[in-house]
Each structure stands twice: as structure tokens, then as C-alpha cells.
Amino acid sequence: MMDSVIDLRETEPGIVQLTMQDKVHKNGFSEALMNGLVQAFETIKNNERFKVVIVTGYENYFASGGTQEALLAIYEGRASFTDVNLYSLAQDCSIPVISAMQGHGIGGGFIFGMFADFIVLSKESIYTTNFMKYGFTPGMGATYILPQKFGVSLAHEMLLTAANYRGAQLEKRGIPYPVLPRNEVLAYAYELARQIADKPLHSLITLKDHLVGPAREQLAAIIKKEVQMHEKTFHHPEVKERIMALFGK
């Protein structure tokens, strides 16, 4: 499958690479990218050849989260981050997913990558949960998945401060994931993928279902609470001012 913003192709037997390449929005969650991601994972679901998915971006961008227009729509009450369920696409996928985060992961784009079964970061790239920078509380399941992946202390720091962290900084903080030079991230992901693709499909599906089952069961309640926090925090005038003044900076 090939279109302007998503490239989905089986690159080796059993291995499918999903490349996000919305260069106009720097892999922000434009309507085209969101629809493309949903369609791509539906295609993966319906193809019994695939055993493992590698999700990656282009050049120095992995995914940049909500666009300015989308954030303003939520502020105005015309939209919610739950309108399109991007956050758990990787977790809900029946086969293992590797986030080859070769580029910047920003806000919801970073959290999208965190829901994968395997995560590979780059030393040079910026990773941030920048929701509070704009004055509203985190969404996309961030309050659940980030403590699960990075530990409570670092996750709370990232969520509350909305600071930027280079991959090299996160490596020094002891995150349990490989952090490599950008040009080595995808190759490392393929090494992992080949080890996974060697296994029987039915066993991969059965084990992943067991491993992520509790998270799948808990996530709905977390999302509900995040939406409730948005109702309290997203619609203040200061939020719009921050979105207009700070977006992309």
C-alpha cells in the first residue's frame, strides 16, 4: 500500500514496514496521516503473512502529535483525541510492533510510539510529552503508558514539566530501551524483527495477547479519566493563547 503520507510494504518475509511521511505536517496527526495509520493497521490485521511490524518516520521526524488545527478544535469543543483511536493501534495489533523512533517524537506522536512492544530511540532526537506546555493535561493514554515504559519518577517529571529530552539524555536516565545514533535505529529494528519473524505466527499472537492483555483491559478507564481532565483544563482562554503563541516552538 502506498499513498502520499503512509508507505506500507513487506520488506522481508513476515516483516512489514510502516513509514509515516507526511512532510507537510512533519508527521503531525493530520487527517490524512490519521486515516492512513488506521487503514494501514487494518491491512496488517487482514494479512496472515505478516508476523511483525516496524513503525518509523522520515528523516529526523518520527511523529509530531496533534496539529495546531486539531488542538484548536479540541479547545473549541469540536473534537476529542478519542475521535480517532491512534494511541492504541500498536497495542491492539495482534502481532508484535517495533517503534523505530529514528526522529523526534513530540506529544501524542511520542506516546503513539510508546504503545509498541519494542522501542528504539535515537541519541540525537527530541522526545517530549509537551501537553502541559500548552496548558492542558496529557491525553492519548500518556498518563498510563509512560510510567509503564519509563518508570514512575521519570514519567511524572516528563508529564509535569513538558520538557524536551534528547535520546542521549534519556539513555543516561536509565530507560530500558536501546538508544542509538539515528542512522542505526532502523537497522537495529530489523535485527529484532528478524528474530521475531522466525517464530510461528500463532504463537506470536498468543503470547502478545497474554503479555498486553492487562494493559488493554485497563486503558479504557485511563482514557476516560484523561478526557475528564481535558474537560477541566482544555477550554480555558490561556490554552488557546498558548497554542497560538507556542505551537511548533
Q: Specify which residues 116 forms β-bridges with.
A: none
In a domain, 11, yes or no: yes
- Does residue 246 fall inside a structural domain? no
Instruction: Confirm whether 208 is domain-assigned.
Output: no
Neighbours of 199 (CB within 10 A): 14
| pLDDT score at 6 | 97
pTM attached to this predicted model:
0.96
Q: 199-210 pLDDT, tens per residue?
A: 999 999 999 999
Residue 156 is part of a domain; what is its CATH number? 3.90.226.10
Please check whether residue 213 lies inside any domain of the structure: no
Q: Give whole-number Cα distances, 36 to 5, 27, 44, 211, in Å.
A: 7, 12, 12, 27
Give the 3-state secondary structure of residue 56: strand
pLDDT 10s digits, 37-56:
999 999 999 999 999 999 99
Q: Which of the following is catalytic: 156, 230, 235, 236?
A: 230
| DSSP SS3 for 117 | coil
Q: Would residue 235 count as lying in a domain?
A: no
- DSSP symbol at 89: H
Q: Does 128 map to a domain?
A: yes
> Is residue 231, in this structure, part of any structural domain at all?
no
Domain residues for the domain of 105 are: 6-182
User: Is residue 218 situated within a structural domain?
Assistant: no
Give catalytic status of residue 230 as yes or no: yes
| Total domain count, the chain | 1
Question: Taking all residues of the chain, what is their mean pLDDT, rounded to a whole number?
Answer: 96
Determine the Cα–Cα distance for residues 32 and 15; give it in Å rounded to an integer.
24
